[in-house]
Amino acid sequence: MNNPLLESSTLPQFSKIKPEHITPAIDTLLAEARAVVNQQLQANSIYTWGNLIEPIENSEDKLNKAWSPISHMNSVVNTDELRDAYNACLSKLSEYSTEMGQNKALYSAYKQISESNHYLSLDIAQQKIITNALRDFRLSGIGLDADKQQRYKQIKQDLSRLSSKYEENVLDATNAWTQLISDKNLLAGLPETALSQAKQTAESQDQDGWMITLQFPSYIAVMTYADNRELRKEHYTAFATRASDQGSQSEEWDNSQVMEETLALRHEVAQLLGFKNYAEYSIATKMAETPEKVTTFLEDLADKSLNQAQQDFSDLKKFAQEHYDITDVQAWDVSYLSEKMRQHFYQLSQEEVKTYFPETRVIPGLFSVVEKLFGLNIIEIKDVDSWHTDARFFEIKDEKDQLRGHFFLDLYAREKKRGGAWMDDCVGRKKTADSVQHPVAYLTCNFTPPTADTPALLTHDEVTTLFHEFGHGLQHMLTQIDHLGVSGINGVEWDAVELPSQFMENWCWEKEALALISGHYQTGESLPNTLFQKMLDAKNFQSGMQMVRQLEFSLFDFKIHQQYNPAKGGQIYTTLNKIRERVAVSKAPEFNRFAHSFSHIFAGGYAAGYYSYKWAEVLSSDAYSLFEEKGIFDQTTGKAFLHHILEKGGSQEAMALFIDFRGREPQIDALLRHNGIAA
């Protein structure tokens, strides 16, 4: 059988990849990778970059380039067969990773290189890879005895399995809930674009009427615009109890036990390695030096934001009572009333704003922004093999017409695609003897698809999301580091990885940039000054509430890992409720099971690290403040950000790179100012 995952090709051959190809390919590549390690260890007594690290990096690159499309397709075109094959390989990959991390001969070889004169001849990126590897050996249990190493290995395999199960439960629970509405009056308040989409969804299921779902574009439309309070409550309840012990969904999707087991195993592995808890273990690879620095940072930010958040909610309650005779504002009312309040005080309708952000203007406008900032040229390439007809493919060249990288763009929500937005690594940059392997990224969103009559119209929040993910993509694709371990996003401290993404969001608020990314979808008319001014006036509307909501997520994530007690279990909602008492201004209902679908920390890379969004926002706000001083398209400043941040990847500590760009350590003032919160 010809296996497309084993064939040498520049890009994955998505249309040829079948579930039956997956396990044989991964088995073959894992065997090759193990053979390379053993061969290099046995063939040499004096180790160098060329006779040890480079061959291992090359074999693992082949493995990563096969696993990347498998993992990606599991997220965006999920099927039962693909899922089974994906899950079958998770334990194999986890076993290999642990085996390498606990290979004493390999550790000794790396250590020998680090202590040799040869090390001094290596460039800064190569030295950083070795430093990171020695740290990771320690974090993989290289110093443990055999029994504890075996236990570490089992825990890592179990955590990998649980992470996948958690994500599957969320996906299945989300896909399983639909509501067919036959009376259009029940959907009063919903804009035409949302109604058209609901009609299209019903038709795709051979149904008459309007079908609403828990896919985010459908959910947010109902919560923001539906006049029917009972419909909002029903929709909110279904969304807030996904994959949980509440609601009417299948018990097989309940993540309760998955979460308990995950927290217990994370705590055990941290203690096995000599850390007090998983939060302390997590910090070992991040910018923040201690758990105390994280909690102090978050609680200080909460103290600075809470008064404004309380005022925001007080204003909302007053508005609800005066205009809608609602005296008990509930969770399913907040988005709806906030939108009504925004319209009332700022005469700003999100639906009106959407008409000026058709995808057909936003995408080329985004490309124009990065061209002006960094001297890039982005061109679409047609007829490239992909996983779905929605996916498009582009190349990026710099001002010298040198190819920098490629990316796939998959923008629309659909069934069998997990929710949210993300950037992921398809191919990483590395230099070979005769060429450069250029990086390739996946950029994935879940926007409302176009209808037969209109292009995809994006909310301003969705435009910001697109810029955010593109910022991640730029760091991956523009890297000039030649070694995979620290090129692009590789090796970047997790609490600094959001810097480029949050940095790019700022251009969504600048008139000069908006002129490039907006235009009425029917007339092409520019975003009117009056509408732009309303957007600016409303920019920090409820910013206090938004700030404490993110701090709630961050503190909850950190505390459940920092305070875990095996005798008491996860205490997930006990901890969450305590944090809500401390920072939340809007009370969540008893049945709310937010944590059961908090994929960032239970199935993503953000465990005891969700604080990274706020931590990196300090960096991104302060970095952007230099553009505010020099001009938002100042090319000298743009090139400085390109050279000091985007091109350097993880080759140096994030703080050192930030200081190189900004001339000093980051300051919190710009973050507070951008959020309209007084310092």
Contact 571, 226 (CB under 8 A): no
The CATH number linked to 32 is 1.20.1050.40
Residue 571 φ/ψ region, left for φ over 0, alpha for ψ in the -120 to 50 degree band, beta for the rest: left
The CATH number linked to 424 is 1.10.1370.40
| Phi (first) and psi of residue 431, to 5 degrees | -100, 135
Write out pLDDT tens, residues 96-109. Answer: 999 999 999 999 99
Contact 189, 278 (CB under 8 A): no
Give CA–CA dist 241/255, Å, rounded. Answer: 10
Per-residue pLDDT averaged across 350-361, rounded?
Answer: 95
Contact 278, 564 (CB under 8 A): yes
Contact 488, 439 (CB under 8 A): yes
How distant, in Å, are the alpha carbons of 34, 136, 143, 146, 173 from that of 37? 5, 17, 20, 21, 42
Query: Which residues, at least 6 apart from 347, have a Cβ–Cβ distance to it below 8 Å?
Result: 534
> Is 214 among the domain residues?
yes
> Is 498 among the domain residues?
yes
> Is 249 among the domain residues?
yes
Contact 591, 542 (CB under 8 A): no
> Is 171 among the domain residues?
no
pLDDT, residue 34, reads: 98
Ordered DSSP codes for 506-546:
GGGG-HHHHHHH---TTT-PPPPHHHHHHHHHTTTTTHHHH
pLDDT, residue 560, reads: 98
Give CA–CA dist 180/198, Å, rounded. Answer: 9
Give CA–CA dist 588/591, Å, rounded. Answer: 8
Residue 375 φ/ψ region, left for φ over 0, alpha for ψ in the -120 to 50 degree band, beta for the rest: left
Catalytic residue among 469, 493, 498, 505: 469
Tell me whether strands 440-447 and 403-412 are parallel, antiparallel or unpaired: parallel
pLDDT, residue 350, reads: 87
Whether 479 has a pLDDT exceeding 80, the answer reads: yes
What is residue 212's three-state secondary structure?
strand
| Residues 265-275: b if buried by 16+ CB within 10 A, e if exposed | bbbbbbbbbeb
Whether 679 has a pLDDT exceeding 60, the answer reads: no
| Phi (first) and psi of residue 287, to 5 degrees | -65, -45
On whether both 286 and 431 belong to a single domain, the answer is no
How distant, in Å, are the alpha carbons of 127, 187, 359, 388, 416 from that of 200? 55, 15, 19, 19, 17
Residue with tokens 């498009």: 392
Q: Identity (one letter) of the amino acid at 243?
A: A
Query: Which residues, at least 6 apart from 35, have a Cβ–Cβ distance to it below 8 Å?
Result: none
- Lowest-confidence region among 181-190, 245-254, 566-575: 245-254
The CATH number linked to 344 is 1.10.1370.10
Write out pLDDT tens, residues 22-34. Answer: 999 999 999 999 9
Give CA–CA dist 45/108, Å, rounded. Answer: 11
Whether 346 has a pLDDT exceeding 60, the answer reads: yes
Whether 526 has a pLDDT exceeding 90, the answer reads: yes
On whether both 469 and 419 belong to a single domain, the answer is yes
Whether 377 has a pLDDT exceeding 80, the answer reads: yes
On whether both 557 and 455 belong to a single domain, the answer is no
Q: Identity (one letter) of the amino acid at 120?
A: L
pLDDT, residue 118, reads: 98
On whether both 123 and 226 belong to a single domain, the answer is no
> Is 151 among the domain residues?
no
Q: Which of 119, 139, 159 is the last residue of a domain?
A: 139
Taking the C-alpha atoms of 102, 133, 72 and 193 in order, what is their torsion angle to the nearest 10 degrees? Answer: 130
> Is 519 among the domain residues?
yes
- Residue-range definition of the domain harbouring residue 80: 14-101+103-139
How distant, in Å, are the alpha carbons of 19, 99, 483, 595 from that of 61? 21, 17, 11, 35
Q: Identity (one letter) of the amino acid at 170?
A: V
pTM: 0.93
If pLDDT is split at 50, 70 and 90, which confidence band does 433 have?
confident
Q: Which residues pair with 211 in a beta bridge?
A: 180
C-alpha neighbours within 13 Å on the C-beta side of residue 104: 5
Mean of per-residue pLDDT scores for the chain: 96
Write out pLDDT tens, residues 180-214. Answer: 999 999 999 999 989 999 999 999 999 999 999 99
Write out pLDDT tens, residues 145-156. Answer: 999 999 999 999
Supply 208's token pair. Answer: 């008459």
Q: Identity (one letter) of the amino acid at 207?
A: Q
How distant, in Å, are the alpha carbons of 222, 288, 289, 299, 496 from that of 293? 40, 6, 7, 10, 15
Q: Which of 219, 238, 253 is the last residue of a domain?
A: 253
Closest CA to 227 of 336, 134, 311, 320: 336
On whether both 233 and 267 belong to a single domain, the answer is no
Q: Can 251 be counted among the known catalytic residues?
A: no
Q: What are the DSSP E strand ranges found in 208-363?
A: 210-213
On whether both 215 and 293 belong to a single domain, the answer is no
Contact 650, 597 (CB under 8 A): no
Per-residue pLDDT averaged across 341-367, rounded?
Answer: 95
On whether both 247 and 261 belong to a single domain, the answer is no
Give CA–CA dist 333/366, Å, rounded. Answer: 34
If pLDDT is split at 50, 70 and 90, which confidence band does 678 have?
low
Whether 290 has a pLDDT exceeding 90, the answer reads: yes
> Is 159 among the domain residues?
no
If pLDDT is split at 50, 70 and 90, which confidence band does 453 have?
confident
Residue with tokens 């040499």: 44
Contact 356, 518 (CB under 8 A): yes
On whether both 487 and 617 belong to a single domain, the answer is yes
On whether both 388 and 518 belong to a single domain, the answer is yes
Contact 187, 210 (CB under 8 A): yes
Q: Which of 610, 634, 661 is the last residue of a domain?
A: 610
On whether both 370 and 496 belong to a single domain, the answer is yes
On whether both 398 and 523 belong to a single domain, the answer is yes
Residue 613 φ/ψ region, left for φ over 0, alpha for ψ in the -120 to 50 degree band, beta for the rest: alpha
How long is the chain? 679
Query: Which residues, at least 6 apart from 284, have a Cβ–Cβ distance to it below 8 Å?
Result: 135, 139, 275
Q: How many domains does the chain have?
A: 4
Per-residue pLDDT averaged across 532-542, rounded?
Answer: 94
Write out pLDDT tens, residues 300-345. Answer: 999 999 999 999 999 999 999 999 999 999 999 999 999 999 999 9
Give CA–CA dist 627/622, Å, rounded. Answer: 9
In three-state form (DSSP H/G/I as H, E/B as E, the rest C), the secondary structure along 275-317 is CCCHHHHHHCCCCCCCHHHHHHHHHHHHHHHHHHHHHHHHHHH
How distant, in Å, are the alpha carbons of 87, 106, 109, 130, 264 from that of 42? 33, 11, 11, 20, 39
On whether both 236 and 316 belong to a single domain, the answer is no
What is residue 608's three-state secondary structure?
coil
Q: Identity (one letter) of the amino acid at 233?
A: K
> Is 29 among the domain residues?
yes
In three-state form (DSSP H/G/I as H, E/B as E, the rest C), the secondary structure along 430-494 is EECCCCEECCEEEEEEEECCCCCCCCCECCHHHHHHHHHHHHHHHHHHCCCCCCHHHCCCCCCCC
pLDDT, residue 249, reads: 73
Give CA–CA dist 668/619, Å, rounded. Answer: 8
